[in-house]
Every structure is written in C-alpha cells, then in structure tokens.
Amino acid sequence: TSIAMVFLNKYLLDSPSLRLDAPLFVTFFQCALTAALCLGLSLGAACGPPCAGLPTLRLDPKVSRSVLPLSAVFIGMVTSNNLCLKHVGVAFYNVGRSLTTVFNVLLSYLLLKQTTSLYALLACGVIIGGFWLGVDQEGAEGTLSWTGIFFGILASLCVSLNAIYTKKVLPVVDGSIWRLTFYNNVNACVLFFPLMMLLGEFRTLYHFDKLGSPSFWGMMTLGGAFGFAIGYVTGLQIKFTSPLTHNVSGTAKACAQTVLAVIYFEETKSFLWWTSNLMVLGGSFAYTWVKGLEMRKVQEDPNVKSGERNETGV
C-alpha cells in the first residue's frame, strides 16, 4: 500500500501532464477522505459485517485538543514527505528521508534521556554516510535538489516524532487506532486551511485546467483511499509493536520501492549510487539487530527495573 501510494503521489505532485502545483491541497484531500471514510464505516458498524465491531465516532472537542500535538507533527510529516517526493525521484526518495533512525536516537536522548550504545551509534554513522554518499551521487548525475533534501531531512524528523507521539496519545482515545485516525485527520483538515490560504493554493486551484476532470478526481480519490489504509495500518503497527519496529519495516519497504522505481522509470544508476542505498539499508539493519539484542538482554536480566524495560522497548 505504501509503495503504491508513493508512486501515485509522485504523479499527483510532479506529473508533467497534470501540472498541479498544490501539494498541500493533495495532502488535505487525502486527510479529508480518510476522516470521511472513518466516519462512514463507523456509521455502517450497526449494519453488521464487514463493519461490525468498529467503535462509534463522535467529535469530542476535549479529545481533539489532546490529539492536537500529534496532528501538528502529522501535518509536518505528510507535507514534508510529499514536498520531498515532489522535488526528488522515487528511486532517491528512500535515501532522501533515511535519517529517521538517527533522529530516533537524538530524540530518545533529548526527550527521554536515554543513552545509546556505541554499536548502535556506529550503525547510525553508516546511515549518515550512506545519506551523504547518495546526495553526492545525485549531484554527480545532475539530479540533486537541495529543496528535496531539506524536506527529506524534515520528513525524517517528523516520522520519528509521529511514531513517538502516536504511542503517547493512544491512551487519550482508549487505545483505539480507529478513533485516533479519525481525530488526527479531522484536526489536520482544519489546520491545512490557513496554510493553503497563506501559500496561495486556492488561487492555483482556481486556474487549474483539470479541476473538472473525472480522471483527476479518480486519482485523487484513489490516493485518499491509500492514505486511509496506510494511516490505519501504521497506527496498528505502532500500537502492537513499537516505533522502532515501524521504522524498520519502512526501511525494508524502501528497498523494494527503490528497485521498482529504477526499473519503472528506466533509470541507470552508478555503482556508488547503489552503494549509498546499501549503506542506508545495511546501517538500518545493523541498528535493528543491535537494539534487538539490547532489548532481549534487558528482558532476560532479572535485576533490571520494570521502568527501564519499558524505556528500552520504546
């Protein structure tokens, strides 16, 4: 789902045939459709399968305010992701926003006062090295966009923050990913309006020649459906595992995505370009392996306090 959404968003954001310069509107529409799908399926829950078991949704201003910090991070994440994708190729998208693990380490230290082992730091060093090598190779090929790099770094930071805040905010909605997805996207829709006004996207839409095209709205609706699916699955993964596990599976997905993008767009990449991707993936794998060993050691050590076990798990 995530891979399909990346390719579809690349079309919506940067297609020469579409020529739509309104990345915030694309993201806003996907959030609005996600919220509408959540509400629609919730209303259908009383009808039995396949909607049976879904919680009834109603907008509680108090809960909405509690979810607002996550919504702000969520907006930063989806917007910076899309802006990065708009300015870089799908093949480089993985490397461009590969610093999520590095930001996990930094935020764990700054926010949670958790230290990181030397081996995990070395793995982060490999990821950073792969990132800079990838930037260098994009520059050598003449396809480097510093704007895309900036938004890729910002996206990495926001992805890390989003995983942490999702875990933190879940108790507010009684652990329900369904309710969290609904509140998060409703808040995002409200926050997107002033941003679109400030950036003049309403004017862009007014002059957009395909605004009445059924095929355009079909692609937009498909993108919104993918956004709904990936948002729900991401929340479930973080709920039942950890932010670390979520970022690791995202890295594995990025490997397949990179290869597919190179094949689909018929690109030719240098040996060093592929090396940068392997460094990013290898560093991410090494970090996961090290953290997995550390978590297992903590869980097996009877002298470790319960609070320390939970911190290491996160």
- Alpha-carbon span 121 to 267, nearest angstrom: 33
The residues near 251 (Cβ < 8 Å, ≥ 6 apart) are 98, 101, 280, 281, 284, 285
For residue 203, the model assigns a pLDDT of 92
With a cut of 80, say whether residue 247 has pLDDT above it.
no
For the chain, the first-to-last Cα distance in angstroms comes to 25
For residue 50, the model assigns a pLDDT of 52
DSSP, collapsed to helix, strand or coil, labels residue 124 as helix
Judge whether 237 and 249 are in contact, CB under 8 Å. Answer: yes
- Alpha-carbon span 198 to 134, nearest angstrom: 34
DSSP, collapsed to helix, strand or coil, labels residue 98 as coil
For residue 314, the model assigns a pLDDT of 43
For residue 313, the model assigns a pLDDT of 43
Residues 176-215: pLDDT tens digits? Answer: 888 888 899 999 999 999 999 998 999 999 999 999 899 9
Model confidence band, residue 312 (pLDDT cutoffs 50, 70, 90)? very low
Most confident of 18-27, 112-121, 295-304: 18-27
Average pLDDT over residues 68-80: 91
Nearest CA among 210, 249, 214 for reference residue 230? 249
Map out the domains of the chain as residue ranges.
Answer: 3-298
